[in-house]
Amino acid sequence: MILIMEYAERGDLSKELARRRKARQKFSNAEVWQLVLQILNGLRFLHKQNIVHRDVKSLNVFITADHNYKLGDFGVSREVPAEKNVLMQSFYGTPLYLSPEIINGTGYTQSTDLWSFGVLLYEVLHEGRMPFSGPNLKSVTQSVLTGRYAPLENKRREFQHVLQQVVQSWYNTIASY
C-alpha cells in the first residue's frame, strides 16, 4: 500500500503546543472544536476501513498552512480482524497515550484510538500537560488504569463533557466484550 499525504507546513501538534506554551497562547475554543472534528473524522474514516491507528498522539497530528489538522504516521496501524469479537493483542503505542486495555493486555479494537484521542484532547486543553503522569512507567500505567485525571479549568468546562464521553465510550465498548 502506498500512502500519499499533503505537506504540513506548520509541522506537528506537539511543536505547536510547545510554541503556544512558550508564548502563553492557548488554543481558542473554535480551534479546539476544529481539531476535534477533523481528527474524529479522520478516525471515523480509518475505522470504517477496519484500521486501528494505534498511535494517536500530538506528534502524529500534522497542521497544514491553512490550519487544518491531519492524522498521520500510520507505521504501526493495523487492520482489524474481520471476525466479530476478535481483539488485537499486540502492544504498540506511546505510553502516555495507551488505553487501559492495551496496558492490561486484554485485547483491543478501534476504541483504543478513542482513548488516545481523549488524551490528545486533554493535552491540547491543558497546553501540553498530560492527564496521566508519574515518575515512572508503572505509576503512569496505574494512573491510566484508575482513570483519574485533574479536571479542566473553568474556562474549558465545555470540553469536560467531551472527555467524559470519550472515557464512557471506551468503558461501554470494553464492557460489551
DSSP element (H, E) containing 161? helix 157-175
> Does the annotation mark 66 as catalytic?
no
CA atoms of 57 and 51, how far apart (whole Å): 16
12 SS3 class: strand
Smallest CA-to-CA distance from 20 within 67, 55, 53 is with: 67
Q: Which of 164, 119, 172 lies closest to 144, judged by CA?
A: 119
Please give the span between the terminal C-alpha atoms of the chain, in angstroms, as a whole number: 31
Cell 496505574 belongs to 142
Q: Pick the catalytic residue: 55, 66, 73, 113? A: 55
Instruction: State the Cα–Cα distance between residues 130 and 110, nearest whole angstrom.
Output: 22
Residues noted as catalytic: 55
